[in-house]
Amino acid sequence: MSAPLADQLDIVIPTIRNLDFLEEWRPFFQPYHLIIVQDGDPTKKIHVPEGFDYELYNRNDIERILGDKAWAISFKDSACRCFGFMVSKKKYIYTIDDDCFVAKDPSGKPINVLEQHIKNLLTPSTPFFFNTLYDPYREGADFVRGYPFSLREGIPTATSHGLWMNIPDYDAPTQARMDEWDCLQTCWGPHAFPHSIPARQHMVKPRERNQRYVDAVMTVPKGTLYPMCGMNLAFDRDLIGAAMYFGLMGEGQPIGRYDDMWAGWCTKVICDHLGVGCKTGLPYVWHSKASNPFVNLRKEYKGIFWQEEIIPFFQNLTLSKTSTNVEQCYLELAELVRKGLGHIDPYFSKLADGMVAWIEGWRLLNPPAASA
């Protein structure tokens, strides 16, 4: 089994339970080092299958290591995974949810997610012009006629966003059953949802499973945002790690299930500014179970409204030319968030503080000398 860059990549897994799901991943993950971020009760003992090389951090560890900055790491939410990004010393990170298993390609072959993510990260991105045959660096493909030669070198790739067979990553209104929708409407009232949520009959898809294997990787074009999901995600820590903060979610926060979205918006505008790329597509994981739409809706509820303002904010913001590295960009972005989104809810001012605390924590654990 090929294990590319085994000494340069950490696998980060946030969890609240025993990691039996690793048994299925053993042939692929065993050569790598794991960073397990234990969420919830720190006295609970998490069982990790034999033979894996790992370090595990629980809430007490996070408090001990980050001290007065620990509050910026979410509690009781998988957003806590970003602590693993911060504490890693490797160049590359792969992060996966513990309800994701090995998917198979159309020929029935188990998919080596790390091999594909690393291919994605080690080949350039092409955000300035769309290649109609998708990833031009892939074997059997190239740039098509009319693709400018000056853009064929591409730019370095910062993130590789993988997809999911079986349970797709839908929001609560889309994943709910029809009777659940009726119940939601009753509980939350007729004006509970934004007008822009279409009629429920077009949305309720509780039985929908993703069975389409799209054999493609592509660069998300410059200036275009995408919904980055944290379930199956790889990135280059040197290029974008300091912006891969998953925000304030979970306990004590008015919002959940927007941790990866937040990181996706922030990293995309910073990647565009710094001239590095974001890819999406292959590889697939097999996502085993849909979470409860009622619970999800409670978490997502404010986010569904807020994103209607947050996304135009990110679409229209410009970082200054003096921000020339990720940390500078992220600190500038924190202040833009405070000024530009604070009117929506006091939460955004706290989030801006969290973004600053995140960078302080990042610098604490990744001092310039060590990373130079």
Binding site for a second copy (CB under 8 A): 106, 129-134, 140-150, 152-153, 161, 163, 168-171, 174, 194, 196-198, 203, 205, 208-216, 220-229, 257-258, 260-261, 264, 280, 300, 304, 307-308, 311
CB nearer to a second copy: pick between 210 and 267: 210
CB nearer to a second copy: pick between 220 and 271: 220
- Give the pairing type, strands 277-287 and 100-102: antiparallel
Closest CA to 208 of 290, 281, 99, 280: 290
Buried b (16+ CB within 10 A) or exposed e, 34-60: bbbbbbbeeeeebebeeebebebbbbe
CB nearer to a second copy: pick between 6 and 214: 214
Q: How many residues does the chain have?
A: 372
Q: Tell me how far, at minimum, the Cβ of 196 lies from a second copy, in Å.
A: 4
Q: Tell me how far, at minimum, the Cβ of 18 lies from a second copy, in Å.
A: 26
Closest CA to 91 of 112, 65, 122: 122
Segment holding 165, helix H or strand E? strand 157-166
CB nearer to a second copy: pick between 73 and 220: 220
Q: Tell me how far, at minimum, the Cβ of 326 lies from a second copy, in Å.
A: 22
Q: Tell me how far, at minimum, the Cβ of 141 lies from a second copy, in Å.
A: 7
Gyration radius from the chain CA atoms: 20
CB nearer to a second copy: pick between 217 and 334: 217
Q: Tell me how far, at minimum, the Cβ of 311 lies from a second copy, in Å.
A: 5
CB nearer to a second copy: pick between 21 and 262: 262
Separation CA 46–CA 276 (nearest Å): 37
Separation CA 115–CA 138 (nearest Å): 13
Q: Tell me how far, at minimum, the Cβ of 82 lies from a second copy, in Å.
A: 17
Closest CA to 89 of 307, 280, 366: 366
